[in-house]
Amino acid sequence: MSTYIFLKKTLRLLISMLLFTFILYGLLYLSTGDPALSVLRKLGVQTLSPEVIIETRTKLGIEGDFFDQYVHWLLNTLRGDLGHSFMNNLPVKTLLLEKFFVTFRLMSSSFILCIVLSLLIGGVIGNSSSYQWTKQILSILLSFPIYWIAILAIFIFGVQLNWFPFVGSRSIRHLILPVLVISFAEGSYLTKMVSDLVATVAKSERQVLAKFRGIKWYYRYYYQLNELFVALISLYGTSLVHLFGSCVMIEIIFSISGFGKLLMDAISTRDYPVIQGITLVVACGTFILNYLIDLAIQKVDSRVVINQGGKE
């Protein structure tokens, strides 16, 4: 990869993140409702005079010109200060760190299980013409919303069979059902995509010749994955970004105290610093993940660099 391509993509990443911070702050600035009123009502203040409201807005850092507020917030963010929650006056960074590990544990467990299942099942389907009918079943499963799957799983495995707890995240057993639900929903999509990719490669002349010569299936599958490595990086990277949306909904349904539940609580109470903090962390993580995936693809496949004007 040339230095020019690397610097170009890095500059694009920084500009994208800067523009996102401007749009994020602007949308919350233009949103209806005054956070100062919510804070004063929570504190039980009876007399809501204009002077008291202005004083509260000044303490919250939301009084004055938009650009002054934005620059002040951006500089604090670059220093790692995401502000304080309007509702409990705790640092937003502390709240995010408390919830991050819960969401990370849920996402990482689900993602690893999705990768394993999709590679195993997708490889079998893609290499065997007798299992092609299972793609129709996977297509049907993809039409089921994840919240419907979660509710059905709670009713069957939590209420009727009483196999797993389905409220909270106090132990590993509490995460089994949410992880299975996410893996079922996201894994169906990944399995179908992997099976389609493998089926395309399996029909190549090299693979047909290897099968004719009696080379064992796991050797052939290894070389199939090696040939599909770039496509799989893009597939699983995109899936990891999409997985966060699923985790937000699952956390709400299963009452898991992670990023998703914290975000919904912040929206309901108009706790703007918490909303900004969560959205900023997730968006920046998405930007950086896509940036790393792009660099990894160009590192693995030099043809991408050549097509963009770089040198191999």
Contact of 233 with 301, CB cutoff 8 Å: no
The tens digit of pLDDT for each residue in 82-104 reads 877 877 778 888 888 888 888 88
Task: Name the helix (H) or strand (E) containing 204.
Answer: none
The tens digit of pLDDT for each residue in 281-292 reads 888 888 888 888
Higher pLDDT, 115 or 27: 115
CA dist list (Å): 201 to 128, 176, 227, 237, 305: 12, 35, 8, 21, 23
Mean pLDDT of 163-189: 83
Q: How many CB atoms lie within 10 A of CB 233?
A: 18
The tens digit of pLDDT for each residue in 63-88 reads 667 787 788 888 888 888 887 787 77
Q: What is the pLDDT of residue 267?
A: 80
The DSSP code for 159 is I
Of the chain, the percentage scoring pLDDT greater than 70 comes to 84
Angle between helices 172-202 and 229-253 (to 10 degrees): 150
What tokens appear for 167 in the block?
């409220």
Q: φ, ψ for residue 22 (rounded to 5)? A: -65, -45
**Per-position b or e across 4-42, b if 16+ CB within 10 A of its CB:** ebeeeeeeebeeeeeebbeebbeebeeeeeebbebbbee
| pTM score | 0.76
What tokens appear for 60 in the block?
């919250």
Q: What is the pLDDT of residue 282?
A: 84
Domains identified in the chain and CATH numbers: 1-79 (no CATH), 92-300 (1.10.3720.10)
Higher pLDDT, 25 or 59: 25
Q: What is the pLDDT of residue 56?
A: 67
The Cα diameter of the chain in Å comes to 87
The tens digit of pLDDT for each residue in 242-293 reads 887 788 788 888 888 888 888 888 887 777 788 888 888 888 888 888 888 8
Compute the radius of gyration of the chain from its Cα atoms: 24
Query: Length of the chain in residues, anyone?
Result: 312
Q: What is the pLDDT of residue 45?
A: 64
> Which residues 6+ apart lie within 8 Å of 304 measured at CB?
297, 298
Confidence of residue 42 (pLDDT cuts 50, 70, 90): low
Q: What is the pLDDT of residue 88?
A: 76
Q: Which range, 42-51, 132-141, 186-195, 265-274, has the best average confidence (pLDDT)?
A: 186-195
Q: How would you class 162 by CB atoms within 10 Å of its CB: exposed for 0-12, middle for 13-18, buried for 19 or more?
A: exposed
What tokens appear for 217 in the block?
């299936």
Contact of 57 with 69, CB cutoff 8 Å: no
pLDDT over threshold 60, residue 312: no
Sequence letter at residue 291: Y
The DSSP code for 83 is -
Alpha-carbon distance 258 to 101, whole Å?
Answer: 8
Q: How many CB atoms lie within 10 A of CB 145?
A: 10
Q: Beta partners for 84?
A: 91
Helices (H), ranges, the chain: 3-30, 35-42, 50-60, 66-78, 92-127, 134-142, 146-153, 172-202, 205-212, 217-227, 229-253, 259-268, 272-300, 302-307
